Structure 1
Amino acid sequence: MPEIDQSGYTPAAVFRRTQAERADQQLAWRRPDQAFFAAGACHILAWEFVARHPSYRVAGLRKVGEKNPSHVIATDGTWAFDHDGWTPEAELLAATAEYEPETRWELMPITTGLAGFCADHRHRLPEQFHADPRPRARAYLDRYPSSPA
């Protein structure tokens, strides 16, 4: 994989879970917050963010042609929020494409609620985690300013 410029956006794929973390919810839960919300609970963070910022919407980042997103963010079309905090949406997409240059990526709007999204796209509901990830997501959001500027 290409080197990551740590001064900019860090693609979620950098934090992919291992097979052991996928199989063991306690092990996955013990990951550092950024890794946890980059891969495994990104959708929980996105929905908690949108609850605080209703002008934003939830969107999935997926490989072109695939049904299921591999990462979920909150965006207003200009700014995005995810495990890496506030990032211009264009920078997030460019950094993801640079990290995995063999893959074409696209954002897909997500118009269902969290439960519908989880059912349609093979993501865990909050009660399917080792513990409820929503309080952890809210605490993570508290670390960031309420706006990008």
Structure 2
Amino acid sequence: MTAEAAGVFRRTAIERSDQRIAWERTDQAFFAAGACHILAWVCRDSYPERAIEIAGVREAGGWQVFHVYAVWDGWAFDHSGWNPEPHLLAANTAFEGRPLERVTIVDGLAAFCETHHSRMPDQYWRDPLPRARDYVSRYTPPWT
């Protein structure tokens, strides 16, 4: 799969207001917009032997991260699977039509969610962790 911009799957107003409707989107849409941070942390936790980082994309000079992904040795994992990180950044920049920047996220999941107004796993309509683990398992990591 080729890197695809997260914004392609941006939630509608009803998907933002109704967790059940948001939950019922396809896995790719769910993990592109609304649960990308959950997917990134699950990816990192799925490979404890690897030094996987968490990164985010935001408007250049901004503070609000709008997409989160896992990074290992130049490879990024998000709703599009594993892709070279520059491809993921280029896809998002082209889609958004404005300068974006990558940021390394050093906070834990709870602190990230608090700072960036994102949901913790227990705040979804159902537990997203098993769904994220299944999604991660569908993609062959670049080190194999």
Range class of TM-score, shorter chain: over 0.9
Q: 1:146, 1:77 → 2: CA distance?
A: 11
Unaligned stretches of 5+ in structure 1? 1-6
Tell me the secondary structure at the aligned position of residue 16 of structure 2: helix
Give the CA deviation at 1:8.
3.0
Cα displacement string for residues 60-103 of structure 1 (whole angstroms, at most 9, x for unaligned residues): 111112211100000125100000000100111111112222x1
Alignment of 1:1-149 (within 5 A): 8-53=2-47, 54-76=50-72, 78-101=74-97, 103-147=98-142
Deviations 1:25-83 (A, max 9, x none): 00000000000000000000000001123411111111112211100000125100000
Query: Partners of 1:76 and 1:105 in 2: how far apart?
Result: 20
Q: CA deviation at 1:114?
A: 0.5
Whether contact under 8 Å (2:82, 2:141) holds in the other structure is: no
- Which secondary structure does the structure 1 equivalent of 2:101 belong to? strand
Structure 1 residues 65, 73: CA separation in 2 closer, same or farther (over 3 Å shift)?
Answer: same
Please give the root-mean-square deviation of Cα atoms over the aligned residues, in Å: 1.4
1:37 to 1:52, Cα distance in 2 relative to 1, 3 A: same
Q: Which runs of 5+ in 2 are unaligned?
A: none
TM-score, length basis structure 2: 0.93
Answer whether contact 1:62 1:107 (CA < 8 A) is retained: yes
Letter in 1 for 2:64: N
Q: Secondary structure at the match of 1:70?
A: strand
CA distance in 1, matches of 2:143, 2:78: 12
Alpha-carbon shift at residue 140 of structure 1 (Å): 0.6
Q: For 2:100 and 2:5, locate their aligned partners in 1 and report how far apart those are by CA, in whole Å.
A: 12
> TM-score of the superposition, structure 1-length normalised?
0.90
Query: Is contact 1:78–1:88 with CA below 8 Å preserved after alignment?
Result: yes
